[in-house]
Amino acid sequence: MHLQTHSLSPDPAGFARAAAIWRAGGLVAFPTETVYGLGADARNDLAVARIFEAKGRPRFNPLIVHVASAEAARACVEWSHDAEILASAFWPGPLTLVLPLRAGAGLSPLVTAELPTLAIRVPAHPVAQGLLAAFGGPVAAPSANPSGRISPTTAAHVLAGLEGRIDAVVDGGACPVGVESTIVGLADQPVLLRPGGLPAEALEAALRAPLARHGAEDPLSAPGQMQSHYAPGARVRLNATGRREGEVMLGFGAVGGDLNLSAAGDLTEAAANLFGYLHALDAKGAAGIAVAPIPEVGLGRAINDRLRRAAAEKE
Assign residue 164 a region: left if phi > 0, alpha if psi is -120 to 50, beta otherwise? left
DSSP string, 122-182: ----HHHHHHHHHH-S-EE--BSSSTTBPPPSSHHHHHHHHTTTSSEEE-----SS-SPPE
pLDDT digits (tens, 9 = 90+) for 99-146: 999 999 999 999 998 899 999 999 999 999 999 999 999 999 999 999
Distance of CA 174 to the CA centre of its chain: 14
Please state, in angstroms and rounded to a whole number, the distance separating the CA atoms of residues 108 and 48: 7
In this structure, are residues 65 and 119 in contact, taking their beta carbons and an 8 Å threshold? Answer: yes
Reduced to 3 states (helix: H, G, I; strand: E, B; else coil), residue 29 is strand
Bridge-based pairing of strands 235-237 and 212-213 is unpaired
In this structure, are residues 134 and 23 in contact, taking their beta carbons and an 8 Å threshold? Answer: no
In which band, very low, low, confident or very high, does the pLDDT at 47 lie, cut at 50, 70 and 90?
very high
Q: Cβ–Cβ contacts within 10 Å for residue 267, how many?
A: 21
Would the pLDDT of 315 be above 60? Answer: no
Please state, in angstroms and rounded to a whole number, the distance separating the CA atoms of residues 264 and 254: 8
Q: How much is the average pLDDT of 285-304?
A: 96
Please state, in angstroms and rounded to a whole number, the distance separating the CA atoms of residues 242 and 182: 31
pLDDT digits (tens, 9 = 90+) for 226-257: 665 677 889 999 999 999 999 999 999 999 99
In this structure, are residues 8 and 28 in contact, taking their beta carbons and an 8 Å threshold? Answer: yes
Would the pLDDT of 162 be above 80? Answer: yes
In this structure, are residues 8 and 172 in contact, taking their beta carbons and an 8 Å threshold? Answer: no
In this structure, are residues 119 and 63 in contact, taking their beta carbons and an 8 Å threshold? Answer: yes
Distance of CA 18 to the CA centre of its chain: 20
Distance of CA 206 to the CA centre of its chain: 23
Q: pLDDT at position 66, please?
A: 98
Please give the mean pLDDT across all residues of the chain: 94
* CA-to-CA separations, 57 to 90, 115, 122, 202, 312, in angstroms, rounded: 29, 17, 23, 31, 17
Length of the chain measured in residues: 315
Would the pLDDT of 216 be above 80? Answer: no
Q: Which residues contact 229 (CB under 8 A, 6 or more apart)?
A: 148, 306, 309, 310, 312
In which band, very low, low, confident or very high, does the pLDDT at 62 lie, cut at 50, 70 and 90?
very high
Terminal CA-to-CA distance of the chain, rounded, Å?
26
